[in-house]
Amino acid sequence: MAFVATRQSGFDIILKKGFQVKPGSTFICGFHGLGEVGFLSTAHLTRTLEAKRVGFIKSDMLPLFVSMENERLVLPFELYSYAKKKLIFLVPRFQPHQSDQWNFVDRLAEWLTKCKFSETILLGGLDASFKEGEANMRCVPTSKYESLVEKWDVPLLEEGLFVAGPLALLLAELEMRDAPAIGLLSYAIRGRPDPRAAAAMLEKLNQVYGLKANVEQLLEESKEIERLEKMRRSIESDDRTSDMFV
């Protein structure tokens, strides 16, 4: 399978030869933030929808790791296409290197604008300790996205709370470029991956885009992680109790 670079520099988006992003497509991405919600959601979507790998991102600070998945070599930053719904996914298996995040996000935002995506959907987690009311998500739209917010039926992020990391940088870049984008934040448990929060995110995406991404695997993973977490807490509690009586 042949690939061609879209530009020559310290940051390249390498697309499959002959592949072009159709104007009006939707871009979806989630980074490794709180609860790993963004990455878990995006990676699971590409697998369950059997999205086609169409490209990679290459940068000067590319992580020095590759791995295998479904008997195929996978790289740190991959692009996938689900043509049926005109969806393009970025699956970042690592966070962009901290010293490269500004350049990474700036160049990605430039590409998103150039490709004329109708909307950019950024998935992430929000500390569950801040949850108020029944809603299990909050959203952060750019000014250009205001006319589209209603379809999500998700409350805005409360004033005084902050979005951090690459997701925040990308939202800021797209706001400055007057591009339509929204950050969707699912309430998650801090300190460990939270597949249950990712499953809630997928259910919302299924609803809005008419997808059929199966969330059962994520829910099963959530049960296992919760079981291990309870065991860890129990062991730590036993250790503290023993210390009291030494």
Angle at 56 between CA 51 and CA 57, to 5 degrees: 135
What is the per-residue pLDDT for 8?
Answer: 44
What is the per-residue pLDDT for 1?
Answer: 55
Q: pLDDT of the chain along its 246 residues, tens only?
A: 555 555 445 789 999 999 999 999 999 999 988 988 999 999 999 989 999 999 999 988 888 888 888 888 989 999 999 999 999 999 998 888 887 888 899 999 999 999 999 999 999 999 999 898 889 999 999 999 999 999 999 999 998 888 999 999 999 999 999 999 999 999 999 888 898 999 999 999 999 999 988 888 787 777 766 675 676 667 666 554 444 333
Beta bridge partners of 83: none
What is the per-residue pLDDT for 246?
Answer: 37
Residue 114 Cα distances to 69, 85, 168, angstroms:
31, 20, 20
CATH of domain 3-214: 3.40.50.10900
Both structure tokens of 196: 């249950």
What is the SS3 assignment for 93? coil
In terms of C-beta density within 10 A (0-12 exposed, 13-18 middle, 19 or more buried), how is residue 224 classed?
exposed
Q: Is the Cβ–Cβ distance between 53 and 78 less than 8 Å?
A: yes
Q: How far is Cα 13 from Cα 77, in angstroms, rounded to an integer? A: 10
Helix, strand, coil: what percent of the chain each, to 5? 40, 25, 30
Please, what sign has the CA dihedral across residues 29, 132, 207, 148? negative
Q: How far is Cα 81 from Cα 18, in angstroms, rounded to an integer? A: 13
Q: How far is Cα 81 from Cα 86, in angstroms, rounded to an integer? A: 7
Say how many CA atoms lie within 13 Å of 68 toward its Cβ.
3
Say how many CA atoms lie within 13 Å of 24 toward its Cβ.
2
Q: How far is Cα 35 from Cα 191, in angstroms, rounded to an integer? A: 7
Q: Is the Cβ–Cβ distance between 11 and 107 less than 8 Å?
A: yes
Question: Could you tell me the pTM of the whole model?
Answer: 0.86
